[in-house]
Amino acid sequence: MINLFAYYEQHIFTILIIHFIISVVLAFIISIYALKRFQKSTKVIDAKDEQRLKSIKNKNWFYKALYYASLHKNNQIALFAFTFLFNLSIPFLGYFFSTWIFWYMLNVKYEEKIMNTNVLDLDEFNESFLKVERLFGEGSMINMMNNEYIPKSKKLKALSTLASNNSPMSLQIVKQTLSSNDDEIRMFGYAIINKAEKNINLKIDSNLSVIAKEIAKGDKKDAETIAFASKELAYLYWEMVYAELSHENLKINFLNSVITYLEIAKDFYLPYLEKIVKQIEEYEKHDKVLENLKLIKKERHKLEESYAICASLFSLMGRVYMHKHQYEEAKAELTIAKELLSARSTFLVPYLAELYFVTKKYNIVSSLFKQTQDLKYNAKLYPIIMQWKSA
C-alpha cells in the first residue's frame, strides 16, 4: 500500500496535467453542443437581463463583475467555464456526471402542456362525440311531475323554471302536469300554457290591427308595412301549431292562415328583391362606377336581407306543406329556399332529408347528409347523420 501511494506521488503532476487537459476538452465539446439545448436570446431573457442590470446600476464594480461572470446568458464562454470548473473540482467522477448531464439535456423530452382555451376541438368529432342530453332532462322531469312521492315544492320550482322558457319542448313538459292529481300543480300548468297562448294572441291582434289600419288608408296604404305584419302573422300562427297551443280542430285553420299571410308577404318581398337586383345592375353599368360604390354597397346590404327574408318565407311554407302532407309542394318551396341561401342553406338540409325520407327516397337522404359537413357538429343530428353515412 505504501509503495502504491509512493508511486502515485511520483506521478501526481502528470496526473493533474492529464486531468486538466481532459477537463478542458470536455468543457470545450460540451460548450459547443450544449447551446443546441438552450436559446441564446429571447425577449424573456433580454427582459430579465435588463432588470438585473437596473438592480446593480448603483452597485460597486464587484457586483457588476459577478453579473458578467455569471450564467445570465446562454453563451459558449459561460458554459465552458461552468463545465471546466465542475470537472476540475470533482476529479474523475466529474467526467461521468458532466457527460451524463450533457446527454440528458440533449435527449430529455417534457410532457406537452395544452392550454385550456375553452374552445371545442372540432377534430374530436371525427372519432368520438359528446354525450347528448336534453335541455331540462325532460324524461326525469316528467317522471318527477307524475311521481306522488316528490315534494310539491320541487315540482313548483321545476314549473317556474319552465315558465321562463316558452319553447315547444318546455310546453310539452308542462302539458304533462295537466293530468296531475294535485290541484295546485295542475292549475300552475294551466296558467303557464294560458300565458304562452295569451302572449301569442296579443301579438296576433297587434299585427292584425296594423294591417287593418293600412288597408283603411286606401290608396295611401304602405305595402311594406302590410308585408312585414303579414310575415309576423305567418310565424305567430305557425308557432301556435308548432308549440301545440292550438286546439286540434283549429290546426288546419291556423295552417291555412300561415299560407295566406305568407303569400301576401311574398307578393311584396319577391318583386322588391328583383327591384334591388336590377338597381345594382344599373349602378354597375353606369360610367361613374367608383362614385356609385357607396350606393352599390348599400343596395347589396339590402339584397342580402331580402334574400334571407324570402328564403325564410319559402322555408316556412315548405314546413307547413309538410305538416299538411303535401310533399310535392313542400319540396318545391324548400328547394327555392335552399337556392336563395346558397352556401348558408345548411339548416334546411334536415327538412329536405325528412321530406325525402317520408317519400321513401332513401338514396337522396343519404346523399344529402354526406354532402353536408357542418351538420356533424350539431349534437342532436350527429347520431342520425353518422347512421345515414354508414348506410
Which DSSP state fits 111? P
What mean pLDDT is reported for the chain? 76
Instruction: Check whether residue 7 and residue 19 sit in a common domain.
Output: yes
Q: Does residue 215 lie in a domain region?
A: no
- pLDDT single digits (tens) 326-366: 999 999 998 898 888 876 777 788 888 888 888 888 888 87
Are residue 183 and residue 152 in the same domain, yes or no? Answer: yes
For residue 215, what are the contacts with CB-CB under 8 A and spacing of at least 6? 221, 226
Q: Using CB atoms within 10 A of its CB, is residue 238 exposed (0-12), middle (13-18) or buried (19+)?
A: buried
Residues 114-160: tens digit of each pLDDT = 555 555 555 554 555 555 555 444 456 666 776 777 777 777 777 77
Residue 331 lies in a domain: yes
Number of residues in the chain: 391
pLDDT at 230: 92
Q: What is the pLDDT of residues 206-223, one digit of tens each?
A: 999 999 998 888 888 888
Taking the C-alpha atoms of residue 320 and residue 380, their distance in angstroms, rounded to an integer, is: 22
Quote the CA–CA distance of 371 and 348 in Å, as a whole number: 13
Residue 231's pLDDT band (boundaries 50, 70, 90)?
A: very high
**210 within domain boundaries:** no
For residues 91 and 372, give the distance between their C-alpha atoms in angstroms, rounded to a whole number: 71
For 40-94, the pLDDT digits (tens) are 666 666 777 777 777 777 777 776 776 666 655 566 677 777 777 877 788 777 7
Q: Are residues 40 and 98 in the same domain?
A: yes
**Residue 273 domain flag:** yes
Q: Which cell is 382 given?
A: 350527429
Q: Terminus-to-terminus CA distance in the chain, angstroms? A: 88
Q: How many domains does the chain have?
A: 4
340 and 228 fall within a common domain = yes
Q: Are residues 379 and 265 in the same domain?
A: no
CB-based contact 156:185 (threshold 8 Å): yes
Residues 99, 187: one domain? no
- The answer to whether residues 27 and 67 belong to one domain is yes
| CA separation for the pair 271, 277 (Å, rounded) | 10
Residue 262 domain boundaries:
222-344
Q: Are residues 301 and 372 in the same domain?
A: no
Q: 377 and 268 in one domain? A: no
Mean pLDDT for the stretch of residues 311-335: 91
High-pLDDT (> 90) share of the chain, %: 13
Tell whether 227 and 325 lie within a shared domain. yes
Give the residue among 347, 350, 317, 353 at the shortest CA–CA distance from 332. Answer: 317
